Structure 1
Amino acid sequence: MECAPTNARRTSHVTKTIGFTDIDFDRNGKQVGFLNLPSSVHDDAWGVIRVPLTVIKNGQGPTVILQGGNHGDEYEGPIVLGEIIRDLDPAKVSGRLIIVPAINLPAVVAARRVSPVDGLNFNRTFPGDPLGSPTQQLSSYVNDVLFPLADAFVDLHSGGSSLSIIPSAIIEPAEDAELARKNRAAVAAFGAPMTVVIANLGDPRTSTSSACRAGLITVGTEMAGRGTVSPEAVKVCRRGVHNVLHHLGVVESADPASVPTDLSPAYEIAGHRAYVLATDAGVFEPYHELGTEVKAGQPAGRIHFLNNPARAPEVVHYGLDGVVYALRHPGHVISGSCCAVIVSACKDFAA
């Protein structure tokens, strides 16, 4: 690990992190500790942000990063990663697991999507800045320190406080054809009820997009949401993570034949028309449940104006044919809020 720079002008181009950890990434066994990021604030001049970090290593084999808590109000992933940290015997591992179950720790503690420290969305800050704000330092640590150690990356998301989402495994588009093939195979092994290609409207600042640029086999998820814990989604997540680790050769499966090799029904979020957006502030009443097949132009729901009951509700419409994949939670919206998301059959990946 590099020392903290004493001359920013001279060393900034080689600085990877000012964070520090007592964990030895090359040592066999299970090490449970922290990434410590210096944090000098009003009431703690020389404190640190302590991000939980675990390494489980045994001999030779692939290195897989398991990340949860990218957003602080998404819980299934951190729960499953905590189970792995507590329960997995290093002797059962062939290779190395780097586990960060609450990477965006300030947001996790606050149960918020974005960090209360600097107001940033961790998943829109990659590749980060080693000398930037705390969130930028965290994304830089993942991008510049962890990614170079790894062969694969699993980023466990849920719908958070504002969306309810069908549990699904996510394919991050990759320009390299061979990496795209490996991503599809790993997502198939996860075995979620639905597979969705999500490009985040081409935004390159996400963790999965950055992982693909680093050449890592990449798997994402969306596990339910509404700011709660779904028992069924926890089961899907737990089974899926184990399946991917078996697929990558890091752990054995009690029943290898049960690990899927074919993609579940494959869909995509096909551009901006897939999003149903609120046209005004009010309360959104959806017309359909998750999983409903709908048509472009069909009413998606209506926005009620509770402060002006004489005003007729405003109807919003779907922009694409497809399936209702995500719905707004809670009901209150402002202009531009995402009320619903439609996924369409993905022609590139037949089920």
Structure 2
Amino acid sequence: MSDTLHIRGLEVERGNKLRTCLPVLDTTIEIPITIINGRNDGPTLLITAGIHGGEYPGIAAAMELGRDITPEDISGCLIMMHPVNIQGFWARRAFVVPEDGKNLNREFPGDVNGTLSQKTAWLLSQHFFPLADFYVDMHSGDIHEELHPYVYYPGLPNNEISEKSREVAKILDMEFMVRSMATTGAYNCAAISGIPSLLIERGGAGLCLREDIEAYKNDVRNILRKLGMFSRPVQPRRHSPRDVVDIIYLESMETGCWLHHIHSGDYVEKGQELGRLVNVFGETITSYYAEQDGVILYICPALAAPKDTVLVAYGKLMLD
């Protein structure tokens, strides 16, 4: 890249840091953004946090990394947006952008003439994805999701993009990774356009725990080191992720109260009861059982479970 980064009216010269707010075109909404243009040349890493405004640890990690990392630490350029869904963040809303009720992560590549969600997706896909050599989208379990840390890497673009993404996923300090065959989502949109990408999941249930923030910061430092962008040492890892395949996203077939005794990270056996829906008098409506052996990636911890709520996501652990 050139010594000076120009993007949507922002200008950051080599060896400088800019922390400001970026307007979403034709709206009054501004997204907090940190751009660190390193002293030395190198790749560009794009990081987004808070595409879902209620997923807090990644947002806090990006805020703190943007504050603490200096241009002297970086070779190349680090761009972080935190949070992208600023309106959902302040409204404490799960998944959606309050102005249009849309799930921003389902609106990529967006529409310049669309609603706020679609304009935001268009801004990222048209103006930021083309700058990136690698893209990381930081998520958590939302306000009603408890999850065990894991990472998605794209499986649909081509083998080269998928393998480049997986090689970076392998250096994260977590137990599980999942090859996604989905076509939706910011990171899949980026991958389809030719950019190696990851979606990381850490924390959840509306919590912003210090241990999750620090783990996320270590994730980013490890990625920067892997990409040859970071000069500082990183913390040793406790885990190396293993592939989880054949993911089942179990959705509630009707509205009810969700009761369960399992947690994210638990291992379940085929035929084991995962939980049951009861009515408001405590009478069982439906019991749900595991269709296969597997590990629980995330679970709905909320009692209230409207129809089509994802109650449990679990998959088979691939043998080494």
Shift of 1:313: 4.7
User: Are positions 1:343 and 2:320 aligned together?
Assistant: no
TM-score (norm: length of structure 2): 0.90
What do residues 95-144 of structure 1 show as CA deviations (whole Å, max 9, x unaligned)? 00111011111111212120001111110001101121111111111101
Aligned to 1:304: 278
Choose 213-222 or 124-133, whichever is displaced more.
Answer: 213-222
Aligned to 2:243: 266
Alignment partners' CA distance in 1, 2:24 and 2:232: 36
SS of 1:60's partner is strand
Aligned alpha-carbon RMSD (Å): 2.1
Aligned to 1:3: none
Alignment partners' CA distance in 2, 1:193 and 1:236: 13
Q: 2:288 aligns with which of 316, 322, 337?
A: 316
Choose 230-239 or 214-223, whichever is displaced more.
Answer: 230-239
User: Are positions 1:196 and 2:178 aligned together?
Assistant: yes
Shift of 1:259: 6.6
Alignment partners' CA distance in 1, 2:297 and 2:126: 34
Identify, as 1 or 2, the structure richer in strand.
2
Is the Cα–Cα contact under 8 Å of residues 47 and 80 in structure 2 kept in the other structure?
yes
SS of 1:246's partner is helix
Is the Cα–Cα contact under 8 Å of residues 188 and 263 in structure 1 kept in the other structure?
yes
User: Are positions 1:29 and 2:16 aligned together?
Assistant: yes
Alignment partners' CA distance in 1, 2:13 and 2:185: 27
Aligned to 2:53: 72
Shift of 1:69: 0.6
Shift of 1:174: 3.9
Shift of 1:304: 1.8
SS of 2:29's partner is strand
SS of 1:118's partner is coil
Q: 2:99 aligns with which of 113, 117, 120?
A: 117
Choose 117-126 or 327-336, whichever is displaced more.
Answer: 327-336
Is the Cα–Cα contact under 8 Å of residues 167 and 194 in structure 1 kept in the other structure?
yes
Is the Cα–Cα contact under 8 Å of residues 189 and 243 in structure 1 kept in the other structure?
yes
- Which letter does structure 2 place at the counterpart of 1:330? A
Shift of 1:79: 0.6
Select the structure of larger CA radius of gyration: 1
User: Are positions 1:99 and 2:80 aligned together?
Assistant: yes
Aligned to 1:281: 255
Aligned to 1:53: 33
SS of 2:257's partner is strand
Is the Cα–Cα contact under 8 Å of residues 196 and 266 in structure 1 kept in the other structure?
yes
What do residues 308-351 of structure 1 show as CA deviations (whole Å, max 9, x unaligned)? 34x4453112223211221113111122211111121246xx4x
Distance 1:175 1:36, change over 3 A: closer
TM-score (norm: length of structure 1): 0.83
The runs of 4+ residues in structure 1 deviating greater than 6 Å are none
What is the identity percentage for the equivalent residue pairs of Structure 1 and Structure 2?
Answer: 25
What do residues 253-297 of structure 1 show as CA deviations (whole Å, max 9, x unaligned)? 3258x479x9422213x25xx122223322111132222222333
Aligned to 1:8: none
Aligned to 1:5: none
User: Are positions 1:205 and 2:205 aligned together?
Assistant: no
Aligned to 2:132: 150
User: Are positions 1:328 and 2:300 aligned together?
Assistant: yes
SS of 2:143's partner is helix
Alignment partners' CA distance in 1, 2:25 and 2:169: 36
Aligned to 1:293: 267
Q: 2:64 aligns with which of 62, 65, 83?
A: 83
Structure 2 segments unaligned to the other structure (5+ residues): 1-6
SS of 2:96's partner is coil
Distance 1:313 1:185, change over 3 A: same
**Size of the alignment, in residue pairs?**
312
Alignment partners' CA distance in 1, 2:308 and 2:237: 41
Is the Cα–Cα contact under 8 Å of residues 168 and 193 in structure 1 kept in the other structure?
yes
